[in-house]
Structure 1
Amino acid sequence: MKRPNWENTTLLSINSSTKIKEEGPFVVFNETHIMPKNVPYTQSEKAQLQYAVGIASIISTFPFSMLYTKFGARFVFLSAGILSTISTALLPFAASKGMIAFTFIRLLQGFAYGANFAAIGFVCHRWATLQQHGFFLACMTTFTSLSVTLTNPVAAFVIHALVSPILFGFWLFLYTDHPDTHPCVSQREKDQILSGKTEAEIGISGFMPYRAILSNKTVLIVWLNSFADIVTAVFLITYLPTYVSKVLRYGVRETGIWSAVPALLHIPVKIGSGWLADNMR
């Protein structure tokens, strides 16, 4: 990760006698140091940028969960998507303005990212049959691995900013909070989705039994497994590019490709595990 101090500098003209070379952290013109190269972020700055996303996502998970329970997921998740799109598009500009602006945008990204986890639970609760919860969860939690696989080999921030409005437009157009209100779902499909569910599971109420959830041993074990899965995935996604680039000394293109491979392999394993969980009960 580099800090683009001089990204807007334009060299208007260089005659044939001009000598250009790199010397340490500087670009040298005719033996005169006139401009620094892109200076790497310090380790503490990198950590700050990573922590900003993690802390903001933890904080935002609870309010998003309450908003989903009260208003449904369609427009709440759309608002998070708009925030994510705008903050991602502004990220290169914020990076050029310094650490304060950069960290603020990363906080916004983390806040929007926190909407994902509650949305996954809400959508599975509404749309998955009781026999397919594992498969639904597996497919919906591949978003991190899939996004890295698709965007790491190319300009990740640019691609995310360009594609996100299209994807969230599809979300608004295709998703409803209940199968009964979706025009493309047949009565047979509705019956399959709702089969075996109680009125409390079908309806949306504003009450969430947080005390019972936090004291349930099964929930705590699921959280522990999720924690291990997310930490492993985030660790690889965050630090594998650095290892491939700095230790193995691959170029930018090769680093993007090889860093996406573990995330790609993670997807079929997760989906297969979800299918097995549904069929081994």
Structure 2
Amino acid sequence: MSTGTQGKVTAGDISNDDNVNRTSAQNSSTGFCSVRHGLALLLHLCNFTIFTQFMSLSIAMPAMVNNTVPPSPPNNTSTEGSLDNWNETLPGFRAVAPRYDWSPEIQGLLLSTFHLGAFLASIPSGYLAGKFTAKCLVGAALFVSSVLNLFIPLAAKAGVVLLSILRIVQGVAEVMILTSQYLIWVKWAPPLEMNQLISIAISGLLLGPLTALLAGGFLCETLGWPSVFYVFGGIGCACSGLWFSLVYDDPTEHPFISAGERDYIVRSLAQQDYPPDQPLPVKAMIRSLPLWSILVTQFTAHWYFHVLMAFLPMYISSVLQVGLQDSGYLSALLLGVGFVFIILGGLLADFLLSRKILTLLVIRKLFTAVGVLVPSLFSVLLSWVSSSFGTAVAFLGLCMATSSFCQSGALVNFMDIAPRYTCFLKGLSVVFANLSGVIAPTVSGFFIGQDPETGWRNIFLLSAAVNICGLVFYLVFSQAEVQDWAREQTFTHL
């Protein structure tokens, strides 16, 4: 992947003509009609697509193991609220699709295979992302995952083993996209716009589940559960085509970028030097407290996120006494709140930084503190306001809105301290995020199983405690400048 000093336009060339290009560069730095913001939207679409595919099996599973075919013998049609009942409300139409006699254990295994692939590939994908171009890795991973999504209905017919293998490969593809996309911003994101560009891209991780929740059930009811995989797989194939056609790894190589925007980006990043193929400073990384503060916060902040993703519909249904279908809509609404505020958080962070109101380190710490303390407070208070539906929903909305501020805080801080190793550190952080994704739902399920009445209170108290411990560690040890081990030219080999 070429650097800014190796492309068609160099930082030295621009500096010689700085007065001529200053006006156009400044104009290109304002507004959202730019190639770099278009790139953020394309990455948003990639993240959106990969998470709709991640959600596809979860949404289709009830239809795959219940009645999506014409009436069966009585012992197979006793489930209330089955899709047969839904289809009977659609005159002249009945979705026909196979169903499978999968036990709850097999269903849980199938749903966990995606996470298994993501966990196993986290660090290797981050390492490989530093060896290849982001355009190649993101596009190829999205295409592979999308094609596999189209074949999941056939794989389900072939058996659980083949379906599990397909889901594992999809998990590998997902983590490849999550890690590789940050390599794009090393060359495309001016420092004063990095938060908003990343926030726009990452917000697709929330819009994807939201859309899947709203559209997946409708597709199962009307076209049958295979349509969920066909629709989201087809969208992914189209998106990968757009990606390969429109994305370039370096702004100096883009054929349609304006001279003003190109010069602005290159000038903004002119002081940054990222030699390729540098070995990893493993010993220095292990001793780096600023890096550990980020990794610990990745674990603690995602703890609360995974609890909400796993148990939010259950909490809305069982505690707030909302019907199953309405709880799905309400869960989607809360995800929509998070989607909006993750973008607003990025815009606010860049505003404070560009106006020199706060330093970068203060912004990282402040946004992390808001994203931890406010959700912790309101989630703990939920136990005392659950009798009031409106108040409880408002508190949940505040939790989702403010927790998204962490994205412009600790969750992107690794790009500040070691931009040269962006992809590897992102892959490493995914390991810690997935680790909390394994532990948090398991512990929360134990609390609910032990005592349903006090279980939710204990879940939120534990989540708050874990979050605050991570916040304290981050506030004490975090930094926002490039670390010495990320500047040195001689490293300890991995």
| TM-score normalised by structure 1 residue count | 0.77
User: 2:291 matched to which residue of 1?
Assistant: 219
Q: Is the 8 A contact 1:127 1:193 kept in 2?
A: yes
User: 1:273 matched to which residue of 2?
Assistant: 345
Counterpart of 2:146, as a letter, is T
Q: Is the 8 A contact 2:137 2:177 kept in 1?
A: no
User: 1:198 matched to which residue of 2?
Assistant: 271
Aligned partners of 2:289 and 2:205: how far apart in 1? Answer: 27
Q: What is the CA deviation profile of residues 194-228 of structure 1, one whole-angstrom value per residue up to 9, with x for unaligned ones?
A: 22443523x6x122525244443223222333334
Counterpart of 1:273, as a letter, is G
Q: Is the 8 A contact 2:138 2:181 kept in 1?
A: no
Q: What is the CA deviation profile of residues 231-252 of structure 1, one whole-angstrom value per residue up to 9, with x for unaligned ones?
A: 4444433443455568856355
Counterpart of 1:135, as a letter, is Q
After the TM superposition, which residues 4-23 of structure 1 pair with which residues of structure 2 at under 5 Å, given as runs?
4=64
Q: Is the 8 A contact 1:151 1:159 kept in 2?
A: no
Give the paired residue count: 262
Q: What is the CA deviation profile of residues 83-132 of structure 1, one whole-angstrom value per residue up to 9, with x for unaligned ones?
A: 21022222333334443233222211211111122123212212100122
Q: 1:54: Cα distance to partner?
A: 2.0
Which deviates the most, 190-199 or 167-176? 190-199
User: 1:66 matched to which residue of 2?
Assistant: 127
Aligned partners of 1:78 and 1:55: how far apart in 2? Answer: 22
User: 2:117 matched to which residue of 1?
Assistant: 56
Q: 1:70: Cα distance to partner?
A: 2.0
Q: 1:250 aligns with which of 312, 319, 323?
A: 323
User: 1:153 matched to which residue of 2?
Assistant: 214
The structure with the greater share of residues assigned to strand is 1
Q: What is the CA deviation profile of residues 136-168 of structure 1, one whole-angstrom value per residue up to 9, with x for unaligned ones?
A: 222222222010122211135343112111111
Moved over 4 A (4+): 5-11, 19-27, 37-41, 241-249
* 3-state secondary structure, aligned to 1:152: helix
Asked if 1:2 is matched to 2:69, the reply is no
Q: 1:9: Cα distance to partner?
A: 6.2
Q: Taking structure 1 as reference, are residues 101 and 258 closer, same or farther at Cα in structure 2, changes over 3 Å only?
A: farther
User: 2:142 matched to which residue of 1?
Assistant: 81
Q: Is the 8 A contact 2:65 2:102 kept in 1?
A: no
Counterpart of 1:149, as a letter, is L
Aligned partners of 2:187 and 2:263: how far apart in 1? Answer: 13
Q: Is the 8 A contact 1:4 1:96 kept in 2?
A: no
Aligned partners of 1:125 and 1:227: how far apart in 2? Answer: 24
Aligned partners of 1:236 and 1:56: how far apart in 2? Answer: 22
Which deviates the most, 165-174 or 85-94? 85-94
Q: Taking structure 1 as reference, are residues 76 and 269 closer, same or farther at Cα in structure 2, changes over 3 Å only?
A: same
Q: Taking structure 1 as reference, are residues 4 and 50 closer, same or farther at Cα in structure 2, changes over 3 Å only?
A: closer
The Cα RMSD (Å) is: 3.4
| TM-score normalised by structure 2 residue count | 0.46
Asked if 1:103 is matched to 2:167, the reply is no
Q: Is the 8 A contact 2:145 2:170 kept in 1?
A: yes
Aligned partners of 1:124 and 1:270: how far apart in 2? Answer: 18
Q: Taking structure 1 as reference, are residues 264 and 8 closer, same or farther at Cα in structure 2, changes over 3 Å only?
A: closer
Counterpart of 2:131, as a letter, is K
* 3-state secondary structure, aligned to 1:265: helix
Gaps of 5+ in 2: 1-60, 83-98, 217-227, 353-357, 360-494
Q: 2:202 aligns with which of 141, 148, 152?
A: 141
Q: Taking structure 1 as reference, are residues 103 and 124 closer, same or farther at Cα in structure 2, changes over 3 Å only?
A: same
Counterpart of 2:213, as a letter, is N
Q: Is the 8 A contact 2:152 2:163 kept in 1?
A: yes
Which deviates the most, 135-144 or 146-155? 135-144
Counterpart of 1:99, as a letter, is V
Q: 1:271: Cα distance to partner?
A: 2.0
User: 2:11 matched to which residue of 1?
Assistant: none
* 3-state secondary structure, aligned to 2:214: coil
User: 1:118 matched to which residue of 2?
Assistant: 179
Q: Taking structure 1 as reference, are residues 105 and 178 closer, same or farther at Cα in structure 2, changes over 3 Å only?
A: same
Counterpart of 2:173, as a letter, is A
Gaps of 5+ in 1: 28-36
Counterpart of 1:82, as a letter, is F
Percent identity (aligned): 19
